[in-house]
Amino acid sequence: MMEVPAANLAPETLRAIIESYIVREGTDYGEADYSLDNKVDQVKRQLERGEVLLMWDEVLESCNLITKAQWQRYLAESKAE
């Protein structure tokens, strides 16, 4: 897996990836009800802050969003093998 800088993507492409993730993951925002635009904005801010990373998986040939903590665990597990 490798990180793809979100800033390198066209805005339409980034939005499509984020929307796909939101729909696929069925994100839970608690009792509040947020619009798709609001959810996309929240994920974009997480990307900007470095809390969430956009990753390219060469094996699956797909993009996914993961937390920085998930990435660090993945790296630690890879080194342990």
Domain ranges of the chain: 2-80
**Cα 9 to Cα 5: distance, rounded to the nearest angstrom:** 7
Counted residue by residue, the chain has a size of 81
pLDDT tens profile 8-57: 999 999 999 999 998 886 655 566 788 899 999 999 999 999 999 999 99
- Type and span of the H or E element at 63: strand 62-67
Beta bridge partners of 66: 53
Looking at residues 59-78, what average pLDDT do you find? Answer: 91
Domain 2-80 has what CATH class? mainly alpha
